[in-house]
């Protein structure tokens, strides 16, 4: 049955024919942008300042959908690598597709995040301990990914700076969600035995992600000031630049607030003042400082996307409309909570409704694009190359 399906013929909107085996050979890492967005939406629903009966159930449904999609995408990309010998190595060395390897790891972090938000209240201490182990194991894995993936990019590939896209940040993107992940795990971790190392680790990991992303910002701004906007179909990928500032803002506020209850008395040998209060004050101020930077990137990306929307074709980059902006919304929720601002919380509710609508819209466009052969098709996906060898 599977063999018959793989060799069956698929037709795109232009009347061209290829087999499903050939189509699946173009199932790239960028498909995990969908699970990033779905997982980010589930985390956003778990932190709403204003709730209603059934909201938590909706969040659990989105989380379950995310798990199903992640399992399906993992099976499909494994099938691609099994059907095409050497394709795994090529995907990790490709000048464009390789950057999206990080999206699979970010999807894993968001699954762990949702386990804390939706599963821990219904499970025992065993899950809390499991999440602690997963946090440190995940951190070790993404450190190796960041080191070896960028080694390949720096040592093997020669990427022109004028083609820089925020997607170049994606291999280190898992560190940008490790801070928020640490912040949410702290709510249930034993204090200070397990919570304190996670707090310190969350700050350190977030620092790596933010500092590297900040350096990449300079290349991106250089491209934009040179008048080199991305092609219309790629402009949704501009929203990836929102994520570093948004998730770092979220991490600083959350970790700073948690420091009040996690840091033991006399921490760092300071006994004259409560160290946790200082950490919270600095974290909240720094988080607010960074949030507006994320909003600026969101605004400029929106203007760029809308100006070229009529000439844009759907690509998987369109999922970037959701997951960075979900982080921006969660950071604003954190700000609204610490400032006790009902106005900010109301804005967050409106932003959440908008992101849910965008998710449905992008999902519909994705399904239509697959049906019409606009993606998952030869010369249409992130693994294609032009005559010069650079990604189009």
In the chain, what are the domain boundaries? 19-264+271-372
CA atoms of 174 and 37, how far apart (whole Å)? 14
**CB-based burial label for 355 (10 Å; 0-12, 13-18, 19+):** buried
| Per-residue model confidence (pLDDT) at position 87 | 87
Tell me the mean pLDDT in the region 157-186: 86
Q: Assess whether pLDDT exceeds 90 at residue 144.
A: yes
pTM for this entry: 0.92
What percentage of the chain exceeds 70 in pLDDT? 92
| Per-residue model confidence (pLDDT) at position 392 | 34
| Per-residue model confidence (pLDDT) at position 228 | 78
Q: Hey, is 270 helix, strand or coil?
A: coil
CA atoms of 271 and 265, how far apart (whole Å)? 7
Q: Read off the pLDDT of residues 193-240 as tens digits, 9 standing for 90 and up.
A: 899 999 999 999 999 999 999 998 888 888 888 877 888 888 998 999
Structure tokens at 77: 């990309």
Rounded to 5°, angle at Cα 76 from 32 and 106: 20
Give DSSP secondary structure letters for 15-37: S-EEEHHHHHTT--GGGHHHHHH
| Per-residue model confidence (pLDDT) at position 282 | 95
Q: Read off the pLDDT of residues 108-127 as tens digits, 9 standing for 90 and up.
A: 999 999 999 999 988 888 99
Statement: 19-264+271-372 belongs to CATH 1.50.10.150 = yes
Closest CA to 202 of 136, 157, 269: 136
| Per-residue model confidence (pLDDT) at position 67 | 97
How would residue 389 be classed by pLDDT, with cut points 50, 70 and 90?
very low
Contact 262, 195 (CB under 8 A): yes
Q: Hey, is 201 helix, strand or coil?
A: helix
Distances in Å between the Cα of 316 and the Cα atoms of 172, 276, 370 are 20, 42, 11
Name, in order, each residue with C-beta under 8 angstroms of 199's C-beta and a sequence gap of 6 or more: 182, 186, 255, 258, 259, 262, 263
Tell me the mean pLDDT in the region 80-86: 88
Contact 33, 323 (CB under 8 A): yes
Look at 313 and 157; give whichever has higher pLDDT.
Answer: 313
Structure tokens at 178: 């490790």
| Per-residue model confidence (pLDDT) at position 6 | 61
Inter-helix orientation angle 342-372/32-45, to 10°:
150
How would residue 2 be classed by pLDDT, with cut points 50, 70 and 90?
low
Tell me the mean pLDDT in the region 345-368: 96
How would residue 15 be classed by pLDDT, with cut points 50, 70 and 90?
low
Q: What is the 3-state secondary structure (H, E, C) of 72-137?
A: HHHHHHHHHHHHCCCHHHHHHHCCCHHHHHHHHHHHHHHHHHHHHHHHHHHCCHHHHHHHHHHHHH
CA atoms of 53 and 63, how far apart (whole Å)? 17
| Per-residue model confidence (pLDDT) at position 387 | 30
How would residue 12 be classed by pLDDT, with cut points 50, 70 and 90?
low
| Per-residue model confidence (pLDDT) at position 324 | 95
Q: Read off the pLDDT of residues 175-197 as tens digits, 9 standing for 90 and up.
A: 999 999 999 999 999 888 899 99
CA atoms of 79 and 337, how far apart (whole Å)? 45
How would residue 10 be classed by pLDDT, with cut points 50, 70 and 90?
low
Q: Output DSSP code: residue 18.
A: E
């Amino acid at each position: 049955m599977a063999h018959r399906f793989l060799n069956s013929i698929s037709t795109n909107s232009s009347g061209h024919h290829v087999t499903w085996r050939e189509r699946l050979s173009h199932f790239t890492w960028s498909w995990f942008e969908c699970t990033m967005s779905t997982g980010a939406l589930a985390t956003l629903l778990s932190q709403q300042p204003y709730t209603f009966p059934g909201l938590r159930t909706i969040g659990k449904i989105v989380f379950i959908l995310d798990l199903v999609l992640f399992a399906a995408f993992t099976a499909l990309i494994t099938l691609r690598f099994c059907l095409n010998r050497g394709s795994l190595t090529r995907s990790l060395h490709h000048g464009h597709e390789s950057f999206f390897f990080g999206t699979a790891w970010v999807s894993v972090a968001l699954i762990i995040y949702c386990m804390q938000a939706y599963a821990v209240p219904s499970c025992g201490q065993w899950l809390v301990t499991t999440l602690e182990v997963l946090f440190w194991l995940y951190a070790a894995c993404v450190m190796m990914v960041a080191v070896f993936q960028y080694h390949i990019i720096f040592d093997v590939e020669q990427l022109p700076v004028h083609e820089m896209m925020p997607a170049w940040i994606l291999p280190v993107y898992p560190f940008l969600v490790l801070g928020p992940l640490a912040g949410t795990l702290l709510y249930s971790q034993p204090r200070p035995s397990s919570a304190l190392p996670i707090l310190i680790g969350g700050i350190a990991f977030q620092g790596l992600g933010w500092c590297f992303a900040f350096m990449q910002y300079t290349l991106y701004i250089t491209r934009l000031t040179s008048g080199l906007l991305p092609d219309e179909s790629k402009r949704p990928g501009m929203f990836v630049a929102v994520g570093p500032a948004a998730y770092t803002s979220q991490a600083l506020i959350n970790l700073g607030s948690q420091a009040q209850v996690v840091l033991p008395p006399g921490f760092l040998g300071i006994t004259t003042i409560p160290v946790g209060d200082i950490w919270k004050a600095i974290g909240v101020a720094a988080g607010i400082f960074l949030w507006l930077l994320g909003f600026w990137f969101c605004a400029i990306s929106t203007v760029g996307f809308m100006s070229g929307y009529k000439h844009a074709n759907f690509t998987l980059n369109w999922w970037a409309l959701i997951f960075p902006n979900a982080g921006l919304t969660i950071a604003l929720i954190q700000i609204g909570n610490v400032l006790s601002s009902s106005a900010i919380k109301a804005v967050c509710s409106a932003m959440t409704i908008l992101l849910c609508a965008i998710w449905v819209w992008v999902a519909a466009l994705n399904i239509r694009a697959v049906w019409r052969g606009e993606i998952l098709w030869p010369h249409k996906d992130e693994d294609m190359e032009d005559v010069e060898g650079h990604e189009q």
